[in-house]
Structure 1
Amino acid sequence: MSTHKDRLDALRAQLKTDNLDGFVVPLTDEHMSEYVGSYAQRLAWLTGFDGSAGAAAVLPEEAAIFTDGRYTIQVRNQVDGDLFAYEDVPQTSIAAWLQEHAPEGGRIGYDPWLHTKAWVKQATKSLAARNAELVAVERNPIDAVWVGKPEPSKAHLEPYSENLAGRSSASKRDEIADWLKGEKADATVIAALDSIAWVLNVRGADIVHTPVALAFLIVQSDATADLFIEGDKVDDALRNHLGDAVRIHERADFEAHLKSDYSGKLVAVDPERSVAAIEQALEAGGARILSRRDPAVLPKAIKNEAEVAGHRAAQERDGAVISRFLKWLEEEAPKGGQDELSVAAKLYELRKETGELRDLSFDTISGAGANGALPHYRVTEASNHPLEMNSIYLVDSGGQYLDGTTDITRTVIVGTPTAEMIDRYTRVLKGHIAIARARFPEGISGGRLDSFARQYLWEIGEDFAHGTGHGVGAFLAVHEGPQRISPPGGAYAGSDEPLKAGMILSNEPGFYKEGEYGMRIENLVLVVEHEVEGRKVLGFETLTFAPLDCRLIDVDMLSPAERQWVDEYHAQVVEKIGGQLEGEELDWLKAQCAPL
């Protein structure tokens, strides 16, 4: 099927065959992952939208696609408005839309392996207002019509060094077992792929840019565990690493195991990170459900000494790469002939030259001119834009190294900036500095810090439509919960999570002028303890080291404390990464980092 209209027509025909009046298509997998394998890219196949967050609803005569403010422009560029109505989240939701649009008395299908129980409950309630029902499908109707659908990855699961992990898998399982005993529960189901990787000290290659494997894990109250994974992904080295306390089963046996082994037992399930089918299978087998957050989530987010040391090494290695790249860009972009794809390829090449790169941590956001105004832009051959004189270029990129995951954004001017560009960049920088310099009591959430980053844009009636910061894993997911720095409520889950020492987050305010340019400054920061007048408080230590573009800074707009921060940061950049550079590259770095 060559067009998205053909695919939509085929899905509607299949729904008719299945006696359904509609179907909901989320962008996730059986693990509620943000980034999914090619086999699970059903939304992209159906609509053409390739962002990392969205969903669609298809009815016999109409359809809609749901995205948040990060994708307002992108979704309109990628999805045919004649086929799908554009709906903005959180102003609306799929459930609310279905309540307005579903056929009276209709049957709306959903895949229980792709939705949470809470979503099922809400959608069921909304459809009841139209005397319609939500129907769990045994086979996803998109899979029935997707010709050439990719198979899930067959990559091996690999042991992850305890030296890098900082703890043994046994100690992590003991901690979970103690938690289960405290909850008087018999077992917990862990479905989030990065949690499984963290608990077992393993890494995989099943999800592009995220080193995890498709699996499910059940940890028992005696600290043993049952891992459900395709058998051909396991070898003797992995079996030896896992030991006798981790029993290995075929992934296909997971649902049957849930139905047969937990009758009368109390099983903890994370309602946000587990799909409805898991709870449905447990309940069918007579288990009692205890709704609790995945017990790996918080300890995974609070990095231990080995993980922090690994992160520091990875960030300094990556910072030197970024510095080399920025020098090359400053010299080559004004000559002409460079475009978004060519410069992204150069940056990848420089990361590869370290000999340590395992993968990118996400698709590089390489945005020249107007494309930079799309916060989660992904360049293609069709959208590729040249770097032109007197224009802004934004590059948001990261690497996956065995010792850490990096994520950095730099904004540079090619040629001469306008006064407006300098003003907006400086306001973004002031917001970035406000987060970097923040001090706050224990118990404060990222949601309460978010406005620090926006205040200087708010002064002129501007804002940015994404969070200020997300958690980052240790050679794991580049977007890691539960912590965030983002506006409270709405679409930003985690904004109310108290920040704790050891958590790593991004600090990335931005500004986007539709049709013209975008800018963002992103470093990773570590939550650390400080002492202020004899009291223990928390603050941030910056982990990312690469020069800022001082041509875009209006020094007169900075306070003395802000100028001091920039100068001290640049001095640290030279100190941290200068030893990896020499000759002209080192000279260039020192010039870029000269005091304001």
Structure 2
Amino acid sequence: MYQTFDVTARPEQGPPRLQALRVEMTAQHLDGFLVPRADAHQGEYVAPRDERLSWLTGFTGSAGFCAVLQDKAGVFIDGRYRTQVKRQVADAFTPVPWPEVSLAQWLKEQMPEGGRLGFDPWLHAAGQMQTLLKDLWGSGIELVQVDNLVDRIWQDQPDAPLQRVSVHALDHAGESAADKCARLAKTLRKAGQAAAVITLPDSIMWLLNIRGADIPRNPVAQGFAILHDDGRVDLFMDQAKLVGLADHLGSSVTQQAPAGFQTAVAALTGTVAVDETTIPQALADVLGDRLLNAGDPCSLPKARKNTAEIAGSAAAHLRDAGAVVELLAWLQAHAPGSLTEIDVVVKLEDLRRRDQMLRDISFETIAGTGENGAVMHYRVTEDSNSWLQDGDLLVLDSGGQYLDGTTDITRTLPIGAPGEDQRAAFTRVLQGMIAMSRLRWPKGLAGRDIEAVGRVPLWQAGQDFNHGLGHGVGAFLSVHEGPQRLSRASHVPLETGMILSNEPGYYREGAFGIRIENLLVVQPAAELASADPERQMLSWQTLTYVPIDRRLIVAEMLSFDERHWLNSYHQEVAAKIGPLVSAQARAWLEDATAAI
């Protein structure tokens, strides 16, 4: 199994660890210390060695941080984790709704005047610290750079990962690493930038057409890179990871030990491009006024998938859909009965593993039934494992990492007979998902400009959900990829080739959860006779083809256009996936895709 069901953190472990941390704070004459969920690379995902937030607090979400004071410890979490954090942290920690309550606001209320707040400059981005410093202006609170205090008390901290790196084939990448480096170097020269500092592992993987295994569920290797304006790359990565890759990397890529990275950055001359949202404060300090916040040069090129990457992602999604359809047919035949959430996860992974191109799952499978479905990023453990019972809903959110693409799909399924309230909420979520799938929009709009389209049916009923409508997805890379998002916070214009999720939901704490998710790729919209000739429009191409459970749909709530979209979608599902599955699953599929 790629996935395990061990309990990785327990609430009762938090208070003694918190006390030990406070002893270290006192020794450093600190009134507070920040513990982020971050590593020196500033990506979303971290290796077990860097799970400091989880180790200290018990909270295992993918975003958040803890501000530890001598008498209080605030765990800052966004809307996705408001339910989860209650289950995972002890009373010694106080959940803080973030960003509604900012860190600076909380500190000014809780810290003594003139207090000293410690932070590890490798684990906090420069832009983040600039904002905090500005917001704390006049409070008397001092920010103090210190070595990481959690590492001092974490006695069994895992070692740094040293997994071997592999070549990402040109057939899948669609462009050679040399051509990518030359293309981006030309952009640097045009902008008058001598070099760019790259810390994000997925950016380095994309740029050099390599893949790693340092981070669970993400085919990336930890390292740093400097891209020079002549196309040369200095790659700071442990040599043990790069055995046998000399020919692939070529003479223009110089491998160096990670320990020399800060010194190499300090030695750069001229203007150096960085992304202030990801460059650690430690590196910003050594760059000084040479630093230019021009963004990660790989970010947008990586997001704009080329023809080969889109074709590979489409193929991976079809094969992945075959595994999911087999699972849904099996589930309907056996539930309700003697199945648990873990049984579902194990069966689905077994079906995916039959594909020889699978290298991992793309994240820990979310299989939440009943009230567990209301925990948006629920991870089933041996302690939380629940039976699938008649009348409950099951939220099944999963994906695979295939050599040719990354998948992410969510379906909500009734176990036995669903209730009318559940069906009405599901139908509203479906209406939002259909509205986004059908959307055409003017080129130049960002995710924040169109995200509300997927919420309107819920808003009309006085309902909503506390997560973005969609996130970017990589091509055999991270399942959460920036900068593209369908979010109120996203100002990055959507462009042809970007892959995003479309996943509205609804969650009733203590009762049930609902989410429906397809992946979509941005494409030029088909021409219309009524369209302004000078106005360029964009639309979506669907990548995910798995039935949406008709037992949960209140057909009378659907408009003619919504019903037509659903029936057309199901016709495509039957045609594309039917030939890929077993006879038993095909029979189930024919019924599941019947017109309504």
| Fold match (TM-score > 0.5) | yes
Shift of 1:87: 0.5
- Cα contact 1:99–1:129 (8 A) shared by 2: no
**Aligned equivalents of 1:469, 1:60: Cα separation in 2:** 39
Alignment CA distance shift 1:384-1:397 (3 Å): same
1:507 aligns with 2:502: yes
Instruction: State the one-letter code of the partner of 1:307.
Output: E
Tell me the residue number matched to 2:565: 565
- Is the partner of 2:291 in helix, strand or coil? strand
* CA–CA distance in structure 1, aligned partners of residues 537 and 547 of structure 2: 29
- Asked if the contact 1:371–1:377 (Cα under 8 Å) also holds between the matched residues in 2, the reply is yes
Q: Which residue of 1 aligns with 2:18?
A: 8
Give identity over the alignment, percent: 46
Q: What TM-score comes out, normalization by structure 2 length?
A: 0.96
Match of 1:26 in 2: 36
> What is the CA-CA distance between 1:6 and the residue it aligns to?
0.9
Structure 1 residue identity aligned to 2:546: A
1:532 aligns with 2:524: no
**Could you tell me which residue of structure 1 aligns to residue 304 of structure 2?**
302
Paired amino acid for 2:167: P
Q: Is it true that 1:498 corresponds to 2:493 in the alignment?
A: yes
Is structure 2 residue 188 aligned with structure 1 residue 171? no
Task: Letter of the 1:175 partner, please give it.
Answer: R
Q: Which residue pairs with 2:511 in the alignment?
A: 516
**1:356 Cα offset (Å):** 2.1
Contact 2:128 2:277 in 1 (8 A): no
The 3-state SS of whatever aligns with 1:541 is strand
Contact map agreement 1:103 1:130 (CA 8 A) in 2: no
Letter in 1 for 2:163: A
> 1:538: how far off?
0.6
8 Å contact 1:470–1:505 — kept in the other structure? yes
Residues 386-439 of structure 1: per-residue CA shift (max 9 Å, x gap): 110111011000000000000000001011111111111111111000000000
Count, aligned residues: 581
Deviates more, 1:565-574 or 1:347-356: 347-356
Secondary structure of 1:532's aligned partner: coil
For residues 501 and 132 of structure 1, what CA distance do their matches in structure 2 show? 46
**TM-superposed deviation, 1:581:** 1.6
For the residues of structure 1 that align with 2:498 and 2:15, how far apart are their CA atoms?
A: 45
The 2-side partners of 1:18 and 1:257 are apart by 30
Write the mapping of 1:120-199 to structure 2, written as runs, cut at 5 A: 120-137=129-146, 139-199=147-207
In the alignment, the residues of structure 2 paired with residue 468 and residue 290 of structure 1 have an alpha-carbon distance, to the nearest angstrom, of 32
Tell me which residue corresponds to 2:278.
Answer: 273
Give the CA deviation at 1:446. 1.4
Separation in 1, partners of 2:272, 2:575:
51
Q: Is the 8 A contact 2:13 2:58 kept in 1?
A: no
Q: State yes or no: 1:66 paired with 2:45.
A: no
Matched residue type, 1:267: V
CA separation in 1, counterparts of 2:434 and 2:574? 19
Cα drift, residue 505 of structure 1: 0.4
Per-residue deviation, residues 301-359 of structure 1 (Å, max 9, x unmatched): 0100000000010000000011000001101112x221111111111111112222100
Question: Post-superposition shift, 1:103?
Answer: 2.1
The answer as to whether partners of 2:126 and 2:278 remain within 8 angstroms in 1 is no
- Whether contact under 8 Å (2:219, 2:477) holds in the other structure is yes
Give the drift of 1:172.
0.7
Shift of 1:447: 1.1
**Structure 2 CA distance for aligned equivalents of residues 414 and 157 of structure 1:** 43
In structure 2, which of residues 42, 50, 55 is the aligned counterpart of residue 40 of structure 1? 50
- Name the amino acid aligned to 1:297: S
Task: Say whether residues 1:465 and 2:466 are aligned partners.
Answer: yes
Q: CA deviation at 1:128?
A: 4.4
Residue 96 (1) aligns with residue 105 (2)? yes
Cα deviation per residue 1:81-125 (whole Å; 9 max; x = unaligned)? x21111101111222211222222221100111111122223234
**Is contact 1:127-1:134 (8 Å) kept?**
no
CA deviations on 1:219-255 (whole Å, 9 max, x unpaired) are: 001101100001211112x111000000000011111
Deviation at 1:127, TM superposition (A): 4.1
Distance in 2 separating the partners of 1:72 and 1:485 = 21
* Bigger Cα displacement from structure 2, 127-136 vs 154-163: 127-136
Tell me the equivalent position of 2:386: 385
* Matched residue SS, 2:278: coil
**Contact 1:22 / 1:107 at 8 angstroms: preserved in 2?**
yes
Structure 2 CA distance for aligned equivalents of residues 11 and 174 of structure 1: 47
> Could you say which residue in structure 1 is the equivalent of 2:6?
none
Query: 8 Å contact 1:99–1:126 — kept in the other structure?
Result: no
- Contact residue 326 and residue 582 of structure 2 kept, 8 A: no
Query: Are the equivalent residues in 2 in contact too, given 1:95–1:122 (CA < 8 A)?
Result: no
Structure 1: where are the runs of 5+ without partners? none
Aligned equivalent of 1:394: 395
Where does residue 368 of structure 1 map in the other structure? 369
Matched position secondary structure for 1:435: helix
| Contact 1:210 1:476 (C-alpha < 8 Å) held by counterparts | yes
Tell me which of 244, 258, 269 is aligned to 2:251.
244
Matched residue, 1:581? 581
